[in-house]
Amino acid sequence: MKKLKIESALISVFNKEGISEVCMALFRKGITIYSTGGTKKFIENLDIPVKSVESLTGYPSILGGRVKTLHPKIFGSILSRSSNKQDLIDQKTHDIPKINLVIVDLYPFKETVIKIKDKNEIIEKIDIGGVSLIRAAAKNYDDVLVVSSRNQYIKLLEDLESNNFITNEELRKNYASKAFKLVTEYDKDISNYFNESFENENENENENSKILRYGENPHQSAVFKGNINDVFSQLHGKDLSYNNLLDVDSAIKLIAEFTDTTFAIIKHNNACGIGSAFDVVSSYDLAFSADSLSAFGGVLISNKEVDILSAKKMNTLFFEIIIAPSYQEKALTILKSKKNRIILVQKRTIKKERSYKSILNGRLEQDVDNIKNDDSNWDRVTKMIPSKRELKDLEFANKVVKHSKSNSIVLVKNLQMISSGVGQTSRIDALNFAIDKARRFGFSIKGSVMASDAFFPFPDCVEIAAKSGISSIIQPGGSIKDNLSIEMCDKNNISMIFSGIRHFYH
């Protein structure tokens, strides 16, 4: 694994908070610092030697600061590969130094959109050079360490000082991964601003309106505004109701998380059962056995074609709706035997960037919880390390808890949700409910994993989990008392993962 000693750094940041400690550490180590504009002045005020980017490029900042770092000498210094002979020749020929640490944060575009209405000021907060520098450094992580957020400064100093400013490939790749994720989210914010699709989703009163029989309750009138035929073909059954549509929406959001053959049963917007197996009927068995009582009257969804064997099993259950990408012809004949049963073919997935809720005398808008969160982003924080089987179950559980009403706890074993506690006012209540329910349905909790949508403020949930036989836990982390939960895990030989991402869902 390639090791790299930090010898020179490029620093260009909009927000200077925390950067002084980093600059002091680099200065003490004798590392050359290059910088631009306001950042250069900030570093000079710390009495730290700093070289201007202009002295390297021989070209001044132009267009009111729009172009500062976009120059071959800058990008050549970042993208040069130490293992490539021609790159080294080009560096020597064109007098290009090597920069192996890049610290850049981006103009606050999203914050500007929220606070400012002036179009020109918003446009000026679309970062060009910063994004380019981050992408270049992340691409060349083999030779460069990229730091893309001030939230990483404390960890950066720990990583550098603990290893005498020598970095390994795994560390650089981890920082690069976070950099690409940040750039992706940044571009999404810009795209949302330009498309303005969120303004049209709820405000076009006349577009494809369909009056529903009633709302959540018979005394409430309701209407659906949108084109559901763009997402589904309805092959059979009665018209979809208000509550049907809510459950269908929850079902397709959940199933979109899985690529392996997976089957889920939704009741009141939560999964009462979900499982992944080698075929549809086995996945259905896992989902149904998790809670055979709640499955009655539920919404069924598969991410693979429904075959005859699956249809025969499902047909013994009373359910409102089934959703799948396709059905075998004979399976469809079986499922159509119930007059009012709604059979939907899902044509496409729905990838929205913004969500809305009508409250008070206005509405709330937010980004959809689309962030990718898997083993590549997780921190192992306990002495015990999850096994490969546990890691798969943890990822499965974390996907399910993301789509479960808060407070939520999900228990999973062998890619089957064996129980959940959802919509509770206490995380302890959610866990106790999940444990009791799993036992009522005959599941052994020993060796199962647990996912929590938010951190544990105290170690009590870990203690309950340990007494019940749960062997591994995933939670976001972030409590000031995380150390107590970690210690409780270590005391009981439980592995725990910090995902770093909270998944509240109200």
Nearest to 456 by CA among 416, 493, 496, 418: 496
Residues 23, 147, single domain; the answer is yes
CATH number at residue 26: 3.40.50.1380
What average pLDDT is seen over the chain? Answer: 88
Rounded CA separation 218/481 (Å): 47
Tell me, yes or no, whether 219 lies in a domain: no
- Final residue before a domain boundary, out of 329, 346, 363: 346
Residues 16, 133, single domain; the answer is yes
- Residue ranges making up the domain that contains 452: 376-498
Rounded CA separation 44/49 (Å): 6
Residues 52, 184, single domain; the answer is yes
Residues 339, 446, single domain; the answer is no
Q: Work out the average pLDDT over 120-135.
A: 79
- Final residue before a domain boundary, out of 178, 197, 216: 197
Task: Let me know: does 146 contact 175? Beta carbons within 8 Å.
Answer: yes
- Final residue before a domain boundary, out of 197, 218, 246: 197
Interstrand relation of 495-498 and 472-475 (parallel, antiparallel or unpaired): parallel
Tell me, yes or no, whether 213 lies in a domain: no
Rounded CA separation 297/303 (Å): 20
Chain-centroid distance, C-alpha 288? 28
Q: What is the pLDDT of residues 45-74, one digit of tens each?
A: 988 888 888 877 766 767 766 676 677 777
CATH number at residue 237: 3.40.140.20
Q: What is the pLDDT of residues 422-478, one digit of tens each?
A: 999 999 999 999 999 999 999 999 999 999 999 999 999 999 999 999 999 999 999
Alpha helix stretches (DSSP H) within 261-323: 280-290, 308-314
Structure-token match 């099993």, residue found: 313
Residues 180, 273, single domain; the answer is no
Residues 18, 161, single domain; the answer is yes
Residues 178, 243, single domain; the answer is no
Band of the pLDDT at 200, cuts 50, 70, 90?
very low
Q: What is the pLDDT of residues 359-398, one digit of tens each?
A: 887 888 888 898 878 888 899 999 999 999 999 999 999 9
Tell me, yes or no, whether 354 lies in a domain: no
Overall domain count for the chain: 3
Interstrand relation of 232-236 and 222-225 (parallel, antiparallel or unpaired): unpaired
Residues 183, 68, single domain; the answer is yes
Tell me, yes or no, whether 492 lies in a domain: yes
pTM for this predicted structure = 0.63
Residues 300, 408, single domain; the answer is no
Task: Let me know: does 469 contact 444? Beta carbons within 8 Å.
Answer: yes
* CB neighbourhood size of 232 (10 A): 18
Tell me, yes or no, whether 207 lies in a domain: no
Residues 63, 182, single domain; the answer is yes
3-state helix, strand, coil in the chain (%, to 5): 40, 20, 40
For the annotated catalytic residues, the residue numbers are 139, 268
Question: What is the DSSP secondary structure assignment for residue 405, as one 8-state letter?
Answer: P
